[in-house]
Amino acid sequence: MKKIGVILIFAIAAFLFVGCGDDGTALRWDNQSNVDLKDVVWKSSGSVNQEWTGTVADERQTDYKLITKLAGEGECLFDTGGPAIISLSPGEGVVSASTNSAIIEKDADATLIIDGAVTK
């Protein structure tokens, strides 16, 4: 009986350690640009690291998605289809942001605020 109790304790401890693993770094966008935007992408070194397809209405947020690159740029289109140059402000989990680029905190649930968009 003692052996079963000890085995159960170790099994529960192992389960708890596995359940406390690193979930990774997640990013979402908060559109405060006064215009509807669509097809937002997170790029690093010219390659798309993550994308959010569809429209992000003004004063709305996207869902969180996992990213693997902590430094990158944001790009998107106006809802009407033309390319947009966006300006970013740091939100929760963002180390720094300027113009359209940012550095995200490792293992954070980060929010980048799109506070402006002009025609490219």
Confidence of residue 2 (pLDDT cuts 50, 70, 90): low
- pLDDT reported for residue 16: 47
- pLDDT reported for residue 29: 98
Correct CATH for 24-119 of 3.30.70, 2.60.40, 3.40.50, 1.10.3470: 2.60.40
How many Å apart are CA 95 and CA 112, to the nearest integer? 10
How many Å apart are CA 103 and CA 37, to the nearest integer? 22
Q: Report domain extents, the chain.
A: 24-119
C-alpha dihedral sign at 82, 43, 117, 85: negative
Q: How many CB atoms lie within 10 A of CB 97?
A: 20
Mean pLDDT for 28-40 is 97
Mean pLDDT for 51-66 is 97
- pLDDT reported for residue 59: 97
Which pTM was predicted?
A: 0.81
